[in-house]
């Protein structure tokens, strides 16, 4: 955090501030003292119901938003942010948009990895704390409501042939309905449509448009290492959302990135605790600078560092995401010393290969030790040949 308030600074907070509302408010009070403007979208931790009077995670979102309003933290997309010192012919237009989201298991579209026969990797419902501490008492109502809406939409867009009438209904995870319900928050009072209209107007006025969207969860599966590299290979089922990505892509399509090179779009995200700064094929820059825990910074700092961001250093500032003065994102210069993040660098140099289902050595050791049979654990204790994970390299060998 800076020692004093920067009157021209904006802070983007992509969720997981705290589980208790008092802690969330305490954090925001500090942030608004240090930064001129603070934007925020909630993460999964804020929706944990840990107090006796907290019985619904969806209702808790409203409580979190009330804290934001009290502290002056913005949870809606911005109008055009004034850019100073541009003169009479102002050419830059900057917009920031929090995108509220949840994950769905359907986000995981890649094949499962091959674990040893005597290793049983448990489901996300058994491993992820969200399934125990998040409460969704209206879930069945949401399912009926959304299923009815989908049937009406399907009937209006399909033919009346018997083959159309006899199609089998698709089965979705519970998370899918939660994700859709939370995504709808972005449309309340028409705020997201107004945001898109403001961006479109700035383009029509001939301005160079920069849009920063952000969410807690991942909009694309390419933003997390392949399953064979993950200590919990099923993590992909609880990190991202296609529903989220559809919303983010509406911004991307509006900007026509790559045609002039002047318009820019970056999307910041959180949740997975991997340092990340990488441009994908759609010309969108995806960034994560995870605060993480002190223990994580001690155990695996290489996978957390991005740019010059190293949160375990006392007094270190958040990652500089965008500088209006230079009209550039962090990592967009030709400076070869910039660190895009361990895994982002890996995927700059190696194609993603989900068809490779062989667990990385450190993952094989871990899942065998944690979820292996009693006999396997015993044999591992006797051999004790666990090795530290090596640095991914350009060769693709890990």
Q: Which two tokens stand for residue 361?
A: 């050595």
Q: Residue 196: inside a domain, yes or no? A: yes
d(Cα 79, Cα 77) in Å, to the nearest integer?
A: 7
In this prediction, residue 86 carries a pLDDT of 59
Exposed/middle/buried for residue 334 (C-beta within 10 Å: 0-12, 13-18, 19+): exposed
Mean pLDDT, to the nearest integer, of 355-383? 83
Under the banding of pLDDT at 50, 70 and 90, the label for residue 375 is confident
Contact assessment for residue 227 and residue 281, using Cβ atoms and an 8 Å cutoff? no
Exposed/middle/buried for residue 253 (C-beta within 10 Å: 0-12, 13-18, 19+): exposed
How many CB atoms within 10 Å of residue 26?
15
| Poorest-pLDDT segment among 50-64, 86-100, 168-182 | 86-100
Q: Residue 245: inside a domain, yes or no? A: yes
Mean pLDDT, to the nearest integer, of 340-344? 95
Q: Residue 385: inside a domain, yes or no? A: no
Under the banding of pLDDT at 50, 70 and 90, the label for residue 195 is very high
In this prediction, residue 50 carries a pLDDT of 94
Could you read off the pLDDT of 239-286 as tens digits, one per residue?
999 999 999 999 999 998 776 678 999 999 999 999 999 999 999 999
Counting Cα atoms < 13 Å in the Cβ hemisphere of 202 gives 25
How many CB atoms within 10 Å of residue 58?
19
Backbone angles phi, psi at 358, to 5 degrees: -85, 125
How do strand 328-329 and strand 322-323 relate by DSSP bridges?
antiparallel
Could you read off the pLDDT of 40-66 as tens digits, one per residue?
999 999 999 999 999 999 999 999 999
Contact assessment for residue 78 and residue 39, using Cβ atoms and an 8 Å cutoff? yes
**Number of folded domains that form the chain:** 1
Asked whether the predicted pLDDT for residue 330 surpasses 90, the reply is no
d(Cα 318, Cα 82) in Å, to the nearest integer?
A: 22
Asked whether the predicted pLDDT for residue 301 surpasses 70, the reply is yes
Q: Residue 380: inside a domain, yes or no? A: no
CA-derived radius of gyration, the chain: 22
Q: Residue 355: inside a domain, yes or no? A: no
Mean pLDDT, to the nearest integer, of 199-221? 95
d(Cα 73, Cα 13) in Å, to the nearest integer?
A: 10
The percent of residues above 70 in pLDDT, for the chain, comes to 84
Give residue 215's domain range: 6-342
Residues with Cβ within 8 Å of residue 13, at least 6 apart in sequence: 31, 38, 39, 40, 41, 73
Could you read off the pLDDT of 222-231 as tens digits, one per residue?
999 999 999 9
Average pLDDT, the chain: 88
Could you read off the pLDDT of 118-144 as tens digits, one per residue?
999 999 999 999 999 999 999 999 999
In this prediction, residue 290 carries a pLDDT of 94
Under the banding of pLDDT at 50, 70 and 90, the label for residue 308 is confident
Mean pLDDT, to the nearest integer, of 98-127? 95
Under the banding of pLDDT at 50, 70 and 90, the label for residue 161 is very low
In this prediction, residue 310 carries a pLDDT of 85
In this prediction, residue 91 carries a pLDDT of 84
Mean pLDDT, to the nearest integer, of 310-320? 80
In this prediction, residue 232 carries a pLDDT of 95
Q: Residue 356: inside a domain, yes or no? A: no
In this prediction, residue 121 carries a pLDDT of 93
Under the banding of pLDDT at 50, 70 and 90, the label for residue 397 is very low
């Amino acid at each position: 955090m800076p020692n004093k308030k920067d009157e021209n600074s904006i802070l983007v907070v992509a969720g997981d501030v705290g589980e208790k509302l008092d802690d969330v408010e305490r954090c925001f009070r500090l942030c608004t003292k240090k930064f001129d403007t603070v934007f925020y979208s909630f993460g999964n931790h804020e929706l944990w119901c840990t107090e006796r009077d907290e019985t619904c995670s969806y209702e808790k979102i409203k409580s979190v938003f009330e804290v934001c309003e009290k502290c002056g933290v913005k949870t809606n997309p911005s109008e055009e942010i004034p850019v100073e010192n541009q003169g009479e012919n102002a050419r830059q237009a900057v917009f920031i948009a929090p995108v509220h989201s949840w994950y769905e298991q359907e986000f995981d579209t890649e094949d499962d990895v091959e674990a040893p026969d005597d290793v049983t990797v448990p489901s996300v419902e058994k491993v992820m704390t969200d399934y125990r501490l998040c409460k969704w008492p209206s879930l069945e109502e949401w399912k009926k409501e959304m299923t009815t809406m989908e049937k009406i939409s399907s009937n209006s867009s399909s033919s009346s042939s018997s083959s159309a009438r006899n199609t089998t209904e698709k089965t979705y995870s519970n998370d899918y309905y939660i994700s859709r319900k939370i995504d709808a928050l972005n449309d309340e009072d028409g705020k997201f449509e107004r945001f898109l209209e403001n961006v479109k107007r700035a383009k029509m006025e001939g301005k160079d448009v920069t849009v920063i969207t952000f969410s807690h969860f991942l909009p694309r599966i390419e933003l997390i290492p392949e399953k064979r590299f993950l200590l919990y290979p099923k993590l992909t089922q609880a990190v991202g959302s296609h529903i989220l990505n559809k919303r983010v892509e509406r911004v991307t399509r509006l900007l026509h990135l790559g045609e002039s090179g002047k318009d820019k779009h970056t999307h910041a995200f959180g949740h997975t605790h991997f340092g990340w700064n990488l441009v994908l094929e759609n010309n969108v820059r995806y960034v994560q600078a995870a605060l993480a825990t002190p223990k994580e910074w001690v155990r695996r700092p290489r996978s957390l560092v991005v740019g010059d961001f190293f949160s375990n250093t006392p007094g270190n500032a958040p990652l500089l995401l965008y500088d209006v003065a230079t009209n550039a994102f962090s990592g967009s210069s030709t400076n070869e010393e910039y660190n895009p993040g361990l895994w982002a660098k890996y995927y700059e140099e190696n194609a993603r290969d989900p068809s490779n289902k062989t667990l990385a050595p450190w993952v094989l050791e871990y899942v065998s030790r944690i979820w292996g049979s009693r006999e396997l654990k015993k044999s591992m204790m006797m051999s004790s040949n666990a090795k530290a994970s090596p640095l991914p390299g350009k060769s693709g060998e890990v």
